[in-house]
Each structure stands twice: as structure tokens, then as C-alpha cells.
A and B are shown apart, each in its own frame.
Chain A
Amino acid sequence: MTAIIAAIANLKGGVGKSTTTVMLADGLSYFYGLNVCVVDLDAQANSSQMLLTERGVQMAYEQGKGATHLLSSFIKGEPANVADFIMPNAVSLEELRIAEENDDRLGWISSLPSHPHLRLQEMGLEETWYSQAGTPTSLANKLAEHFKTGFDVLREYYDIILFDCPPHLSPLARAGLSLSDVFVMPTIADAVSTWGTKQFSDWVGANVAPDLPSRNFVLITRFRNTGYSKQIANELQEVYLKDRWFGPKIPESVHVLNAMERAAPDSYDTFRGKYGGVKGDVKRLSERFTDFLSQQRAGRKWQKMRD
């Protein structure tokens, strides 16, 4: 395996980055049997919470797992053995659990969770860095350099690594973006978010890699079927972000909210039970995303394992 790294990112908050991250993790592991690692770079720790529950996030932190401890390795100048900070089981789908129990693992999710403490830790690091004449860019570069070896090792164990990024350009988010092969930009079909997509992808092109915007997968989330939203979605696709890959529009739905609240750290559900009325949307999202990946990485096959 040589994992593809995908950052799920947008400067705009609340557009569905974390929800998209979890839907992709579930969809790719379930339908394509992929081994997925979700890396949460956001101190809000929302995708970690969705995967592991609040208690799970806290337990991981106390067990020395997650992004905070990975960042500590950088601060202490220790090598970034990323695998040491991973929670091996972040699966909530019953079908995956049963297959694993029968020694027939077919699709799996692991997590490198975040924790609210991450923000304080990053701020401490920034304070020290800037007091020694460092800049935000040099910090992001140094972090990327430090984590690159660790993630290169990790690539051998997974098919896909998803970075859930915060809604601001934190040092870790910048490092994450520069380690990414592709980036997914969730957005909402409204005026403020639309302008934000231009701002963010221009910034990515200018500061991370000039060709990264061409490796972009756009997803319109929380879509309401109104004339206004349809018009904005159409403009995004036909004008503003023309020639990019678009996923299926994900409807605004209470099924999504339900799916994102795991009942307990040891709670499991079938794919059908978890996603209810939006299961078709998650399926189309994974299909479209693997099409996008095939184009990005020629020769790589993505085969459906479940339907």
C-alpha cells in the first residue's frame, strides 16, 4: 500500500469539513474495503469526537495518543513516529467489526485524534518560535519536514490518510496541506462561502503548491434544495471553480446529524442504520471520490467490495 494523503480543508468554518472527513472514512472503508487513517489537525477535535465519542477522545489523550503528543515530539526534537500516536480502532460500522472478528478484515478506520489542548500547545510553540525570529511560514515548513518521514512510513500501512483541518491556517494545518497529495474543499452554496472558496484555493496555490488547486475535489455540503442554492451551486460548478472535480451535493439533513453522534465508545451500527436517509449520498460521495483518485493516480484500482 502507498496511501494517498487528502487534506479536507477550507478557511471557512462550519462548512462540513469534519462531517465530510467521517463520511469519506466510512464510505471508503465500507464500499471499497480501504484501510483509512483519519488524522485530526483541529483542536476542536470534532471528527475525533464523531469517530471515538467525547470519552474516547479524552481516553486517547490520557493514553498518550493523538495530535497533541505528536506535536510534543516536534517540540522535544524527537523523531515523529506517527504510528505510536494512532488509535488503531475508530470503526463504528458493524459490518467492518464483524469481518474483523472473523479474521477477514475488509475495510478499517484508525484515528490520530485531536484534543482541545492542541490549540494551547500550538500557541505555546508559536510564541517560542516567533520570539526566536521564526515566521509562520518557517514554522509550517519545519513542521512539514519533521512529519514527512513519519507520514511516509505511515503511507505503507494505509490506503488513504485523511487530514481534517481547522477553519484557520494553524501551523499544523499548513504543514498538513503541504504533505497532501490532494485536497478536498467542502463548501456551502451561499455567497460568503463561495467567495471563501476562491480565497482559500488561491492561498493554497500561492503558499502551499501552485498545482494543488488542480488536485482539488469540491463538495457542496448542507445543501438545501432552494432556487437560491441551486443557482449558487451552478455558478460554482460552471464558473468560479470550473474544471475542478465536484462530489455529489450532500443535503442538509437530520440523518447526517444523527450519523455523526456515536452513542458510546463501544457502540456499533450497520451502514444502513448509521446513515439512514443519506446512505445513497455517502455511497455516491465515495464513488465520485475514488473516480477522482483514479485520475490523480493512474494505475491505481479502486474496487467495490460491498454495495
Chain B
Amino acid sequence: MAETARRSDGFDVIVVGAGPAGTAAAYTLAKAGIKVALIERGVYPGAKNVMGGVMYSQPVGAIIPNFWDEAPLERHIIEQQYQILSPDSAISGKHRSTQYAVQPHNRYTVLRAKFDAWFAGQADAAGAYLLTNTVVTDPIIDNGRVIGVSTDRPDGDLYANVVIVADGVNSLIAEKLGLRPVIDTVNMALAVKEIVALPRGKIEDRFNLEGDEGATIDIYGEVARGMVATGFIYTNKDSLSVGLGVILKDLVKSGLTPYELLDGMKNHPTIKPLLAGGEPREYLAHMIPEGGYQAMPKLYSDGVLIAGDAAMMVNGFHREGSNLAMTSGKLAAETAIEAIEHKEFGARAMSAYKTKLNNSYILQDLRKYRKLPGFISSRPQIFNVYPQIINDAATEFLTVDSVPKKQKQWKIWRQIVKKRRPLRKLLRDIYEGWRAFG
């Protein structure tokens, strides 16, 4: 190896990307006294990062205890609402608990531009070298082992024993390493989000909140227009995050723009009043890896580990991503720490990462739902036919028109199997759906 020719900055580990995964890794390493470089292309961490976004406390607290005392958080969530829309109606359900009103709160809304900058600042304070405004362009490979990265800076090569790749959903580095194939658009969602400014008082009135309490709404049905898509509204301190994600393949086929879908949702009769008088402040777009377990890349190789979105670690059904990113970043860091202790950086040493992931909720959950992405993409009707069915049924059921109830029930049933979904298909959907949820 060209050991002598290298500039020796003496880094043990290089982390690519200062999102939740990379920063969690760098923080964990720095705390263990390991010399780590955290390289981020944004002018500051979070500058271009996007999330709904709900941050789950427990996984963050496992990295920075009592983070809620200092971190820039918006609201703690006490209520989760689900809305299932048909063109003119909605069925909704919600869960609200006073248990969520006490510390430690279960989850918080955050704005990533602020949160990521704060989180990376913690890693910096712990001793990590935060190098911003710097794009990692290539891995440096020697004899099949990753020994560093090239950046777009002059004199920009950097070397280390372990490289942790946490550069997000479009992971160029994982692709260049040949660890992940070119992404299939059926496994990618394009998410768009608007930040709509609304006075605090209005938010609290409309969502029935007090102080820093917050609510989330997950929206299904009509927003999808026959595609696989879901929407959301999350409350921030003095704004709402309003957005939706749609499977890229469907979107391309439809010829619609994501703005059109979002506008459709914002103008739905049950959604519109929540947003009335709001002022759009920012418009953001980002990809979400939705392929799940089956679409995951190889997670390690000689001298390298992959964490977070770069490894497609998103649990779409539960809307979890940031937590998987942080936990995987932490586990990658722990693997690197052990490797440094044993001075072993080959694939065998790196495979401890896979074991740790297997023992954690990350791979157990992703494996549990492995059939879900395939089930859903082959049945877009879940997102339009069924919302229509249950809304029709509810409307019929609640309309008082002197039709005997038994007759009403028959009418509802006939409508479903004649107009919306034949019985055979309906039973099949139920059976496969049940299986897809593991």
C-alpha cells in the first residue's frame, strides 16, 4: 500500500454526510475518543435536508441523553390522527393520550435545517472534525479495501481505516462501491412538502392543543389519484408541514407533477379549513427510499459500512426513517470502534455491523414488512378504491332516509362488490394484505 505517499491527517474514521445517520456515527466515535472527520456537502448540516418531520425521542436519547433540553424542537406530539379521504368525504380516527404530554415525550416535530445543524454541532463539540461545504466525490480503494475518500476540494483526498457511508437516499458512494444497484423507481418515493406559516394561536385552536403540544395527521385516499401516495400535516410552533410522498414510477407514468397532487390535497374539503389563512413559506422536495428489506444494498465491505437512507433503512408503513438512520449510524460507529481496538478492518470485522443490525429493531422490522412494498405497488387500489368504499358505506349508513337498515346494509354490500371490488378480489386483498404485514 502507498502508505508513505499519503498525507497523514491521522483520521481513524471518515463519515460521509451529516444527516441523522452520519452525525450519530460521528458523535458516537468522537465520544469514544476516536479521531473522526464528518464531511457534509451542505453549507451547513441540514441546509438542504428534508423530513416531515417527526423525530422519535428514544433513539435520539440513546445517543444524546436529555437532548430535549437543548435541541431545537418544534412541538411534542400528543395526538396522532389518520384521515381517509374520498373526493367529498373523510373518515378519520385518532389517538390522543396525556401520557404523551409528560417528559420524556415520545416524539417531536422538527425542522431539519435547524435540528441537523444543532446535532452536528454536538458532534463537533464532542471532538469530531466537521468539514462542511465539501462534496465527497469518490471512495479511494486500494486492493479492494476502502481506505479513504476524494472530495471536490483542492488537495482533497483524505484517508482513514474505516469509512462510514451516510450520504442519504441517492448514495453516490454506495453506488460507486458497487454495493447497490441502480435504484428502481418503484422503490423510490418523491416527497414534496410546504411549510405553511400560521400563528401559534390558530394552530392550537384548530388542532385542539395547548402550549407546545403538537398533532400529526396522516392522510390516505383521494390524495393518491390512483397512485401509491400518502399525505401528512404536522404541526410546528408557528407553521404546519404539509406534504405528500408518491412512488416515483407511478408519478412518472401519470404525467402529473407533485405540486398538482399537493394542491389537490390542500384543497380537499376536510383539509382546506386547517390551512386557511396560512402563508406558504418554503417549498421542499426530497426522495424517500421505500423499497424496504428487499431493496437494501450490501451493508458492508472491506473498510466500509453503510447507514441510514443510503442503506434504504426506512420503515414506510410506520413513517420511520430518522430513527433507523440514527440507530444504524450508532451501530456502525460501535463496529468501527471495535475494529480499531482489534486493528481489523476487513469485511469480516465489518460484518459485526450486520449482526448488530440483525439484533436490533432495524432489520427485524424491515424484515417483518418485507412483502409490504411489493403488495402495495401491485395494488394501488388500496389507496383509492378502499377509501372510496368506506366513505360511501359511512355516508349511506349515516344518512337517515326511511330505508330499513337491513336493506341499507345490502345496498352497501352490493355497491362494494358490484361497483368497487369483486368479492374474489376483495378476499384476496385481505389475505395478501394480512400476509404482507407479517
> A and B, one complex?
no
